[in-house]
């Protein structure tokens, strides 16, 4: 397990997702990319800010993610915002599809990384937060910072 984490290179993360949603389950998915797309991913030119995943005809697609055009890609370059197929097991796809349909969940990408040369996306089954939930999280984080600050001060004395 430690070797797997060491061989991962984080390419992009969606920090906004954990602020906007409660993440109930996470899945690791492969992603089908073209040649110029994987080159841009290796350069770290990826944005997951507005991205989401959706199930279409028994397949999962990552929609609205931005992978910048490859600088040396000439006329065969890719469309930066094209939908990209995510590679999951059928059981996982069915589970995601049923949860999204019946309970009002959504599928959001949490991070994209390279593992042993292959691009992977961590997706989360998410439920939207209300405004007071966000304020509550911010208050908890501020309280934790204050506790850490006072404990550092008491250690110095």
| pLDDT tens, residue order, the chain (157 aa) | 555 566 888 888 888 888 788 888 899 999 998 888 888 888 888 888 888 899 999 899 999 988 888 877 777 787 778 898 999 999 999 999 888 888 778 899 999 999 988 899 999 998 877 776 677 778 888 888 888 888 777 776 5
Domains, in order of start, for the chain: 2-129 (2.40.280.10)
Quick one: pLDDT at residue 123? 92
Quick one: pLDDT at residue 27? 92
Quick one: pLDDT at residue 157? 59
Quick one: pLDDT at residue 2? 57
**DSSP three-state, residue 110:** strand
Quick one: pLDDT at residue 6? 63
User: Environment class of residue 108 by beta-carbon count within 10 Å: exposed (0-12), middle (13-18) or buried (19+)?
Assistant: buried
Query: How many whole angstroms separate alpha carbon 130 and alpha carbon 127?
Result: 10
Instruction: Report DSSP letters for 37-81, one per residue.
Output: HHHHHHTT-EE-TT-EEEEETTEEEEES-EEPPPTT-GGGPPPTT
Query: How many whole angstroms separate alpha carbon 87 and alpha carbon 62?
Result: 10
Q: Residue 9 belongs to what H/E stretch?
A: strand 8-13
Quick one: pLDDT at residue 87? 92
């Amino acid at each position: 397990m430690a070797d797997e984490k060491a061989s991962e290179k984080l390419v992009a993360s969606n920090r906004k997702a954990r602020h906007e949603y409660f993440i109930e389950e996470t899945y690791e998915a492969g992603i089908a990319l073209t040649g110029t797309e994987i080159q841009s991913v290796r350069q770290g030119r990826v944005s997951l800010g507005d991205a989401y995943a959706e199930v279409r005809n028994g397949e999962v697609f990552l929609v609205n993610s931005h992978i910048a055009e490859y600088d040396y890609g000439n006329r065969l370059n890719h469309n930066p915002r094209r939908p990209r197929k995510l590679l999951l097991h059928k059981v996982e796809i069915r589970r995601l599809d049923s949860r999204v349909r019946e309970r009002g969940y959504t599928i959001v990408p949490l991070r994209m990384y390279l593992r042993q040369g292959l691009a992977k996306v961590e997706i989360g089954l998410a439920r939207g937060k209300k405004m007071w939930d966000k304020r509550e999280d911010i208050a908890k984080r501020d309280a934790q910072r204050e506790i850490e600050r006072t404990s550092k001060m008491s250690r110095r004395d």
